[in-house]
Structures are given as structure tokens and as C-alpha cells.
Structure 1
């Protein structure tokens, strides 16, 4: 049975494919592994604020479009993200800013570094039963744009540039459990990074 039957993953430029076809659940449940704290966030990005006053994540609905590329988010595979900014209307709409890839979210945030970021959420693939399917020679990872699937971007470990792609190609796939990230990278390639490791140069290397 499809593990995410509320969404319809779709590779860029192709019709959507039933996720029961060529799909395989890949999430590892690793015993005895604890999540490593993501510390030393002295990189290019400022703190997202966090704390009890930070806005809670929201579900990106059926018609939600990416604020960078304009694609309908639930209709495409891969990591999603959302960012809340204080006293701003990203792309002319109410918060949060919405993205169908993690790298586009970082790109947008770098371009708006003069805005006060309140919260930055990314898909946590440790928190969902994700699937990887092959379509057109590409390995595509399922999308999970629901509120409960999001985690604070400062609290995850990213796998950057693996052979598993999302809506916009190579991406940063986030895991709340560092052991899950290590297992994913061992199987699919890529390197591990924390929030503070992400730079404009890294993001530019992933862009289409």
C-alpha cells in the first residue's frame, strides 16, 4: 500500500505516477541510535528565532505553490520547506513562504537576509515512512508537506547532493536522527551537513 496516499509524486515534466509502482519504503529504524545535537551554528545563516514564540508549522495544501518556481507543491516529489518571517508577506501572501525543495528555501532565505526569520521548517524524513521510486532513470523520494512531517531546520542533519532527487533535482534531504542521515548517505551518496554548514555556494551547486 502507498505510504503517502494523500499526495501524488511527480517527476519534473512528467505525469504523476501511482506510488505503488516501482515504490519501495527505505526509511531505516535504527536501534540504539540517538539524534546528535546540531550545534555551532555560526555559519552564514542567522538564527531562526525558535523558542516558544515561534510559529508552528502548517500543512501545505493542495493548491500551495512554491515561492521560487511556482510549481504546485503536493504534486511533485521530494523535500518541502516553509519559512515564517516577522511582519512580511513573502511573495505577496501571508506566512509562511512555501517551497517544493529545500535548496530553494535556502536560496530564498539568503536573498531575504534582511528579513526577520521566525521559523524555518523542513521535511524530516526520520518522522515519516518515506518511499523511493525509480522513474525515467531517476530515484525520486516521496513528498510529505503536512505539518507533522516538518522539523526545525536547525535540529536536523542534511544529506546534500545524493543520487535521490526531488522536484527540482538534487536537494538537501533532512533527518531528525543523524543515524538515519548516515544510513541514507551510505546507500545513496551525498555528504552530511548541519544548518550552519549550508552556504550560498553549496546551494548554487545544487541548482538546476
Structure 2
């Protein structure tokens, strides 16, 4: 007998530990699978102002926070970007998506969801979203450059966007339709 009786509890403890690690890994995979964008319907409203997303043009966004089964929606990419970039954000983000405007209709965007952090944005174009000037979102830099040629604006990657570029303060002061 090489090990004797004392080796048996160690082997059981090791087996239990391996089973626990496998179970925790499965939980992480399950969360990753659940982190998919949902589609907008007629009743989908904006997290920040309650506007119905389907009633307004331009790219939309959504964020799924850890521990939530449904994402929160934004009627404009600037709102989503402000939420992601703001230093106050403490909730863990499980996924964040915007629409690829090379594949979605500007007036009634549906589907075409892409990862917000890998998207390319056009700031300062003539095209407006639900809240006025917006950041058009694209999956491919070439599509963003083509949009900027046609509608003006500057092409930026997510990492190049600064918090002052997505500041939401004073938006109502500039809304001449109110």
C-alpha cells in the first residue's frame, strides 16, 4: 500500500475541487451566452428619458448589466456612450451594443447590433438621431468613412472618444422644438 488511508480524503478533495472549478466555468459560459442584444419593439423605451425608441430615427444602443436578464435601451448612441465612458459607472457591463448603420435603415433602424466597444463612430455629421446630433455607429471603418464623406463628421474608434464628447448636459437647452 503506497498511500494508505490518508490519501483517500485528499483524492476526494481534489475531485471535489475540480468539479467546483468545472461548475464555475460553466456558469461563466452561461452568462456569456446570455449576453446577446435584444430587438426593439413598439414598447421599448429609453432608460434615461422614457422615449419610445421605435418612434425616432438614428442609431440606438443597449447595455446588459451583470445580474440582469434584460438590457436597458438608449434612444441615441450618445446616451449609451456617455453611460459607458462616464467615470461613475460602477455596475458590471455584461454587453453593450449599437446598430451598424451600414446595414440598418436610418429612419427606422432595426437589428444590425454590433459590439459598442469595437464599433467605429462618426461624430458631427448632418444626420440627426432622436435627440438631435448623434454619433453614427458602424462595424467597419470603411463604412464610417463613406458616411462621413456623404454627411460630414469625423471618424473615431471607441477608445478615442472622450467624456466631454458625449456630455449630455444642456441637451434640452439646445432643443428648439420644445
Question: Highest relative contact order (Cα 8 Å, sep 6+), 1 or 2?
Answer: 1
Aligned equivalent of 1:95? 70
Q: After TM superposition, which residue ranges in structure 1, 4 or more long, deviate above 4 angstroms?
A: none
TM-score after normalising by structure 1: 0.61
Secondary structure of the structure 2 residue equivalent to 1:161: strand
Which residue pairs with 1:190 in the alignment? 153
Q: What RMSD over aligned residues (CA atoms) do the two structures have, in Å?
A: 2.1
- Secondary structure in 1 matching 2:101: coil
Superposition deviation, residue 126 in structure 1: 2.2
Question: Does 2:66 match 1:70?
Answer: no
Equivalent residues in 2 for 1:1-208, closer than 5 Å: 53=32, 55-88=35-68, 95-109=70-84, 110=86, 112-128=88-104, 130=105, 141-146=106-111, 149-204=112-167, 208=171
Structure-2-length-normalised TM-score:
0.71
**Structure 1 residues 206 and 197: CA distance shift in structure 2, 3 A:** farther
8 A Cα contact 2:79 2:168, kept in partner: no
**Which 5+ residue runs of structure 2 have no aligned equivalent?**
1-30, 172-178
Highest CA radius of gyration, 1 or 2?
Answer: 2
Structure with the larger helix share: 2
Q: 1:153 to 1:206 in 2, by over 3 A?
A: farther
Deviation at 1:143, TM superposition (A): 3.2
Uncovered stretches (5+) of structure 1, i.e. residues with no partner: 1-51, 89-93, 131-140
What is the total number of aligned residue pairs between the two structures? 139
- The range that moved more, 100-109 or 66-75, is 100-109
SS of equivalent residue, structure 1 residue 171: strand
